[in-house]
Each structure stands twice: as C-alpha cells, then as structure tokens.
C-alpha cells in the first residue's frame, strides 16, 4: 500500500412519507482495497437529512486505528450528488461555514462534530447521478427505505473468496 492513501466515501439517501433509507460505499484508493457498505432506515422530515445521516454513518463506523489497511489514510473524500452537503462540508473544513437551516440541523451538527475529530483532511466533491458508485448507493438507499424496518442498519465488508474468484459479503 502506498503512503498517502485516500478514503473515498459515496453516500446517498432516499425519502418518502417521513421514512428514509440511507446507504454508503467506501473504499481506499489503492489496488487491493475492497469496498465496505452500510445501509439502514429511519424516520425524518426530509430527503436531505437522509443523505447527511448516510455520510455520518460512513465516517462514524471507521475501523479502529490498529487496522493496518486504514492506518495510512491522509484524506477522506466524500462524494455526493447533494450540492448543499458538498458545499457545507467544504466550507466547514475551511472554517467558512455560514449558519443556515441546513448547517444548523441536528444531523449536520453531528456530522460536523465527527469530522472535527478525524485525524485527516476531509473534503467533498459533487458527483453526477450517473456515477456508477453513486447509482449503487442510490439503489441501496431506496432498498433500505422501502424494505427495512425503521431503525435497522447493516454493514458489510467484502472479502476475497478463496481461490481468487470474486468477492463475498
């Protein structure tokens, strides 16, 4: 693994009739990195909050610092199709954040507090809805919103199968 590894996080939320689903996919930008996924459901008033919760969960459940694959992370890049989230994270990391309804929401304050504890640089980038990774987390968020009981959440780390073929959860 090379020095200067970046953790890439895709997050998305789905919302309908106060029930939401969230999903994230995260992976290291190195050749031997297999993705990890998380998804769950809950109740909220807006789709925006669902996406913030997906982002929070992706950062909250990072492996402990004793995990060799994760020790060399120097940056985390959050990728989302929600421009408000991207702009707010980038403003936060530059201490330029404006107070508004989004940045004052309980969900964003929780995310903000968690970002401040991370030992590496955090940035965000807007991606299009056509991005392959984003389409996968979009499907996961919609599945969670439609199929999971409120409050359920799951995390999955892909592992290489013996014999070298494919991966399994």
Q: Tens digits of per-residue pLDDT, 6-57?
A: 999 999 999 999 899 999 999 988 766 788 999 999 998 887 888 889 999 9
| Helical residues (DSSP H) of 41-82, grouped into ranges | 47-60
Cβ contact 141:50 at 8 Å: yes
Q: What is the pTM of this model?
A: 0.83
- Quick one: average pLDDT of 68-94? 85
Helix (H) or strand (E) holding 125: strand 121-126
End-to-end CA distance of the chain: 23
Cα–Cα dist 29/124, whole Å: 15
The domains found in the chain, sorted by start residue, are: 5-168 (3.30.420.10)
Helix (H) or strand (E) holding 78: strand 73-80
The pLDDT > 70 percentage for the chain reads 78
Helix (H) or strand (E) holding 91: helix 83-93
165: pLDDT strictly greater than 80: no
Question: Band of the pLDDT at 65, cuts 50, 70, 90?
Answer: low
């Amino acid at each position: 693994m090379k020095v200067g590894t970046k953790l890439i996080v895709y997050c998305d939320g789905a919302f309908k009739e106060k029930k939401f689903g969230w999903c994230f996919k995260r992976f290291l930008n190195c050749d031997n990195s297999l993705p990890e996924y998380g998804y769950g459901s809950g109740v909220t008033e807006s789709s925006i909050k669902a996406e913030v919760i997906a982002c929070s969960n992706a950062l909250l459940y990072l492996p402990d610092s004793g995990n060799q694959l994760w020790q060399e992370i120097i940056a985390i890049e959050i990728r989302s199709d929600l421009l408000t989230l991207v702009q707010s994270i980038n403003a936060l990391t530059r201490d330029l954040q404006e107070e508004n309804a989004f940045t004052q929401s309980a969900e964003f304050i929780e995310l903000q507090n968690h970002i401040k504890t991370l030992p590496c640089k955090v940035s965000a980038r807007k991606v299009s809805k056509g991005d392959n990774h984003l389409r996968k987390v979009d499907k996961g968020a919609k599945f969670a919103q439609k199929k999971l009981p409120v409050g359920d959440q799951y995390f999955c780390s892909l592992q290489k199968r013996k014999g070298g073929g494919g991966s399994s959860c």
